[in-house]
Structure 1
Amino acid sequence: MLYNLQVLRALAALMVVFVHIGAIEHLHADRMFRFGHTGVDIFFLISGFVMVHSIWKKPVTAGNFVANRITRIVPLYWALTMGIFAVALLFGYPLMQASLPTWPEFWKSLLFIPFLRPDGNVQPIFFLGWTLNMEMAFYALFAACVAFGKGSLDRTIWPCVTVIVTIAVLGAVLQPADVALKFYSSPIILQFALGMVMALAYARGMVIPAGASWVLLFVSAAFMAIYPHLRIGFHNAWLLPATGAFVGSVISLERHGWAIQNKFILLLGAASYALYLFHPFATAAADRVSAKVGNFAALPVAILFAVPVAVILAILIHWAFERPVGNLLRRLTHNAPSVVDRQESAVLAGEASEEKVSG
């Protein structure tokens, strides 16, 4: 498997955690942790890469691809959405949003349909689900391209990339007022396309030289750190070279023998989806805990509380819910796990050698 890609998943999720630590009002740390906003861009780029990587050596049908994505994404997100809605319904107390959710918002959230909330945000009941709305639309497009490509990487990838780029360009030029059109044409979708192209290049044996990889790694990381503080138009499109260089250099370094294989970090990468979804509960608790100490100690207390709690919670949810439910659904539907999922499970269980799961 690509060990460093798992590390990037863990890193991207932790970056988002720091964004929401910075959002704690009394800490006044928003500017300090703005670098974390690029974590979502990295997630989307990795999604594009992994989708191609998952069909590279073993082509799958569109149906198998969709089933694997639903098994991976839907159970945990639906459980969380239903829990948040149940609390609001039973106790009249909204979680994760300013107003009480309605039944239409509930169904739209479950069906990954974007809508405008009363607070002016295009977000589902669980606010972080906006990224999943984009992910599911991308999966649907990619599945259609898999069916069209009939086992050919080029016939699968290039039509998908062309559609994504066309949508992003039209969105930038036409500036649609419709909520769904504006949402789906955001320039951040270009990260999906970039990830797919990078995966194709990787499959063709293209890697960045080791020396250049180290340079690109540090330069791109520095740019991503300062980018949120810059006033640059066409948001996210300017991040493409940086995220591409960052992820590309990390993946290339693995080909040159620089792979991080620490089991805990790999486990955190596997649990990155749970970390992404459930960390707001840890940061919300950190808000209350840090408010009880002096201003000088509030920020370190918030970090030292939120990060470990979020990580432990994510790992527990991954082992107790995500993995068993995913395995159960695959058995019930007679659907084999994707190549990436099998490699991930094998490495974490220590059941396969590096040679057997590489690539």
Structure 2
Amino acid sequence: MTNKLDSLQVLRALAAFAVVFSHIPMINRGEFGVDIFFIVSGFIICFITERDSDNFILKRVFRVLPLYYVGTIGVFVIGNYIPTLVSSEPGSLIELLKSLLFIPYQNASGEIAPVLKLGWTLNYEMFFYVVFAISLRISKVHASAICACLLVFCICIGQLTKSSSLFYQFYTDTILLEFVYGMAIYTLWKNTHHWQVSKAASYLSLALALVIVTSMFFIDRNGIRFLSFGLPAIAVVCLMLWGTTNIRFPLWLILLGDASYSLYLFHPYLVHGVDRIVFSMDTFSWQSIFVAALVVTACGLCSIVSYYLLEKRSNEWLRNRFLPKRLRRPKRPVKTADAIGNPAAAIKPLIPSKSVPTPYNPSLRK
């Protein structure tokens, strides 16, 4: 039986490609991939911290910042020297600093978005990590419940009281509920993950999940996001977690799940570069479809290269350099997952020989 969390890897790959589609002009749909990411993030953060919560924030910073900083500074430089390649003005140094510090602001185009526009989602991710870290300090056992209550409290305050502060409005948005969805799903899953379904039911669940994902391309984007995108995303995550336990997913799909953070952050470079310099993908035509297919394929391949050469190496180097040695080896020898990293390849305990200590393997990231 394949590991249940391989399905989340595949789902993360699908979510990342949905966001890629949202930036191809003739499609311009697929932003719901973000909602799937947020729900998976809530699930995975509970999963990894239940096994090892030491230096939680530091590990999240090592995981998120290197790639985001490279992408943000890259857009800032390109915007200043080749402005035709970016969709908005690169902003000032102050705005660059706010982007790097996850401080929301309104740019020259009137959007609440950092220099690297996709970074608005990371503003929410980092906020979620901070709230979860506070919850861990209060109680490691009940961290997810405390975190959920704090997030709901922020949302309620934002709905009941009004403020002109952009920072206040941003971090009390109802989209935060999607992290709560993920934590609630984990609470249910950890008590029921031993459930088994037949192979036929697994493929039926996968087919239903794909149908829901496809239908999400046609959902009104002006609806209440945590409902219009959030509820279908819950259904998809649940179908993949409980319904596909008898499916062995192809390794290349799982690898794309590994590289989904790189794919998410860096695909605009390739998509916008091709669209504005090589071939416009504004209208449907056989040529546009062919070019778009090549661009999407190239995005996937480049993300894998980025994952191995930049994302994985930077995370391992920072952990080896700054984490205490006693924290580098997992407390429980299991392959685990990152919210923006890699869902578990296995949850089977490894039993090392008493005479031969288990060597540290950086690939077994906590």
Q: TM-score range by the shorter chain?
A: 0.7 to 0.9
Correspondence for 1:140: 130
- Contact kept in structure 2, 1:167 and 1:185, CA below 8 Å: yes
User: Structure 1 residues 306, 158: closer, same or farther in 2, change over 3 A?
Assistant: same
Q: How does 1:57-96 map to 2 (within 5 A)?
A: 58-61=51-54, 64-89=55-80, 91=81, 93=83, 96=86
Q: Offset at 1:186? A: 2.0
- If the length of structure 2 is used for normalisation, what is the TM-score? 0.81
- Contact kept in structure 2, 1:52 and 1:196, CA below 8 Å: yes
Q: Distance in 2 between matches of 1:240 and 1:39?
A: 10
User: Structure 1 residues 88, 249: closer, same or farther in 2, change over 3 A?
Assistant: closer
Q: Distance in 2 between matches of 1:244 and 1:295?
A: 32
- Contact kept in structure 2, 1:208 and 1:248, CA below 8 Å: no
Correspondence for 2:8: 5
Q: Distance in 2 between matches of 1:114 and 1:184?
A: 9
Q: Distance in 1 between matches of 2:336 and 2:86?
A: 34
Q: Offset at 1:336? A: 2.5
Q: Distance in 2 between matches of 1:306 and 1:101?
A: 27
User: Structure 1 residues 258, 85: closer, same or farther in 2, change over 3 A?
Assistant: same
- Contact kept in structure 2, 1:52 and 1:199, CA below 8 Å: yes
Q: Offset at 1:283? A: 1.1
Task: Figure out how many residues of one structure are paired with residues of the other and give that number.
Answer: 333
User: Structure 1 residues 66, 325: closer, same or farther in 2, change over 3 A?
Assistant: same
Q: In the alignment, which of 14, 37, 49 is matched to residue 17 of structure 2?
A: 14
Q: In the alignment, which of 43, 54, 62 is matched to residue 49 of structure 1?
A: 43
Q: Offset at 1:203? A: 1.3
Correspondence for 2:120: 130
Correspondence for 1:275: 263
Deviations 1:311-339 (A, max 9, x none): 11111111111111111111101353778
Q: In the alignment, which of 303, 309, 320 is matched to residue 309 of structure 2?
A: 320
Q: Offset at 1:265? A: 0.8
- Contact kept in structure 1, 2:281 and 2:292, CA below 8 Å: no
Q: Distance in 1 between matches of 2:284 and 2:9?
A: 36
Q: Distance in 2 between matches of 1:127 and 1:250?
A: 29
- Contact kept in structure 2, 1:330 and 1:337, CA below 8 Å: no
Q: Distance in 2 between matches of 1:19 and 1:175?
A: 32
Deviations 1:117-164 (A, max 9, x none): 1111111111111101110010000011111113x1xx2111111121
- Contact kept in structure 2, 1:8 and 1:269, CA below 8 Å: yes
Q: Offset at 1:54? A: 0.5
Q: How does 1:1-359 map to 2 (within 5 A)?
A: 2-21=5-24, 24=25, 27=26, 29-30=27-28, 34=29, 36-56=30-50, 58-61=51-54, 64-89=55-80, 91=81, 93=83, 96-150=86-140, 152=141, 155-174=142-161, 176-205=163-192, 210=197, 214=205, 217=209, 220-221=212-213, 223-228=215-220, 232=223, 234-255=224-245, 257-260=246-249, 262-287=250-275, 288-291=277-280, 296-334=285-323, 335-336=327-328, 342-343=335-336, 355-356=348-349
Q: Secondary structure at the match of 1:60?
A: coil
Higher helix share: 1
Read off the aligned partner of 2:53 and give its amino acid letter. Answer: V
Q: Offset at 1:187? A: 1.8
Correspondence for 2:342: none
Q: Offset at 1:16? A: 0.2
- If the length of structure 1 is used for normalisation, what is the TM-score? 0.82
- Contact kept in structure 1, 2:262 and 2:306, CA below 8 Å: yes
User: Structure 1 residues 320, 103: closer, same or farther in 2, change over 3 A?
Assistant: same
- Contact kept in structure 1, 2:15 and 2:33, CA below 8 Å: yes
Q: Offset at 1:73? A: 0.4
User: Structure 1 residues 87, 205: closer, same or farther in 2, change over 3 A?
Assistant: same
